[in-house]
A and B are shown apart, each in its own frame.
Chain A
């Protein structure tokens, strides 16, 4: 059973439907106790980081996320959910985030007038490591991205994959131990995205 965190910032429906499409049971919850007790956790998100962080701090969801990760629960971040796992985001005038992965979230700077921001569409993801959640997926496969800000990990060991856009070669998958998080949307990335979600559902949390 996978628990999807509901903090009103979500692409919740599409994440839930994508897991269900590959016959994986999911529960949507905003209850910190349930999240802490969950077997596996998905932290989705679209929207702006400021609103999302204040929503997380209002309840005890932020703490539940920290504790869940600390107790080695397999944990998947998606898009804004991923950005919030780093230490700091440039968005909304600068926001301190959960700090579970060392690094920052930066805004794309167009190199030419044709580099549109947000980046919207399919782009290649170059894997830097082998990982059970990426098993059976071709290196360089394309996933669906929608974002104006991108993760920049402090240490290479937390950068599991890179993607190129505008001025950046950014960390499109970040991770640490039982935590893996994608800047792209596996729930919107067709068959390949569903494969990633399925892999996550089978993952023990060990690399």
Chain B
């Protein structure tokens, strides 16, 4: 599904952030990326989703065999890539329902699939919201405007549920969530779990991985994957912290 080889990237000022990342996420698997602050976790998610401001200096990233780095952000989304933002952006003046439907139909158009009319779309959105314990009025409000931290994260998961990506990158989706919201968000991800769905869960803490149990865990440090293992690796990190592992790799 996702194949990253020797991916290196720097900021526009030349500062190197990613330094030869190797990572393969097979179809149907959920992988976690853990790592200390400044290890390049968010940069990896931005480079994969196509945000401006980063220069890829080497390596490759392919998605279902297609060169991901050569695609516009909207093409990546239509191909089935979804980034759940660490800091979801507020869009004053843009209604949430309209935003969701516009996104859904833009992707459908790009894939040559039929668009959904407003009535059918609203019905589907309301069902998804019920599962995420989101009040109906969140559809009427402007995108993320006046939402609490937890509501913003749930809104990301709602978008994911509606857009049904093949690969979701969750960038610290657990930050700012209380335990109830964390469970709801985890349920939202687990509901998509299946043969056609992969996820890259980026997190600081092991806690989220109690609810979204990953197939593999990778440790990112100084722009490289320094360890990979099963879910037990997350437990080990929780016990020892990153320092011994980072020291070993150096």
Report whether chain A binds chain B. no
What residues of chain A have their CB less than 8 Å away from a CB belonging to chain B? none
